[in-house]
Structure 1
């Protein structure tokens, strides 16, 4: 490694380490500022209460008349004013502490900004070192090529997993909306079956059944998209939950106790299937999270190995 490249890497690594230290300090400073802000808000609220108490005693009011008759209004007012002054001092102290915390945070942030883009500087220094190494050492060049190829595969896998997790989130959201609609249909079906219902209850039940059917259509479309994404990472697809708007037609044509019980049972079956799907989607979420963590761990190890190769050569 040339002296120039070695010095650049040394300085870039030093600045990046300093940036990381300052970032940790800044996070702590932000937490302190937030705490000081909460403390000040609480003390300001207490001051407002104490001030209101003083003003209430200073105003001519039935309470003041009663205090004058008892002869203790001056004592009470003196106590309230003392408490108000104590609250004012507390607010002043909290304001000063907050200002100091903000100044300290600004100082740290300014120091971070003064370092510039340390990641870019470090990457540039590594790139220059890599150029030197590839030209001077064929074996090292081959190893770098292998590592870059593996990194590309991992990057693609990470992207596919991220797309699958995004599709999973959309499916979970759609399922949540469908379950709400289905629960509403189940409630109206129970009312119509066991409590006499009537035309309004019948209409509400049919409307909710139709809504839940349309909602589950959205779920199934989301599951189809999810299945496509899962296929990209060799994960098994998930079956959907189907209910039919013909349930509403069936209930209209055969509006009797038997038909009502059958509709209610079908809704209950769909609710059970939806709950089972929810559990399977949650399990899939855990699986994808584990896959993502594994890829991230492998990528970090690969990059660390690549960096050591460049630094140690």
Structure 2
């Protein structure tokens, strides 16, 4: 009976930890949603202002007439159009992010509903077990209870570490994909600089489109990684700026996308993505080391528990 209760307590303790983690994630998602809403409002205002500048340049009046004669008007109009495009692309990216965060909030809320009563169930099981221990003549009952409690904690930790490691591996792969696309674009861009012509320019832009998609995926997966690390950081310090990692794509969408023809900006983006890969891999290495340590602890604890049970006469 006691062993059966121990198993139930282990499962419930895991659900309690899961509930705490989900509540922490939900709060973080709400903060992120508020921030992205502010960003969207700012970009919408900026977009209206940029479009107004374009309309002003397109209108006909004396100042525009003399600007057109000198050729400055069309240079300025081209610059304004590119600025409109840049803001539109940033706005589209922000709106996609808002939708993803809103969907994540719904998902976390649904998962919270499944573990909502875990604390009450835990207290009920503890009361049952306390009653059995008091009535039991088994002299090792208290020690078995202590080992089972510790076993439940380690199993819950391992579950969280495994989820964080999986999220980190997804982020690492998407960053690797972005790095490869950017490197390919850089290579074709170098060829274009040496007279590669329209074909090399078209391929470079195609690779940049791929990189843009991969960077969005990477940002989404790094958001998942960051959420999984919220509780992990309380167990082992990951020593990293996850908010900074989460927003690294701002550089890409704010600068590079305005002028894909600038070879130096492509190379800057490769460096940016490379820095994120180093950070993610460093965190993963630390998580894997701790995961191995916990697995060894669990194995030793299991052996200790078996010996205690076998010693019962």
In the superposition, the TM-score normalised over structure 1's length comes to 0.50
Larger Cα Rg: Structure 1 or Structure 2? Answer: 1
In the superposition, the TM-score normalised over structure 2's length comes to 0.50
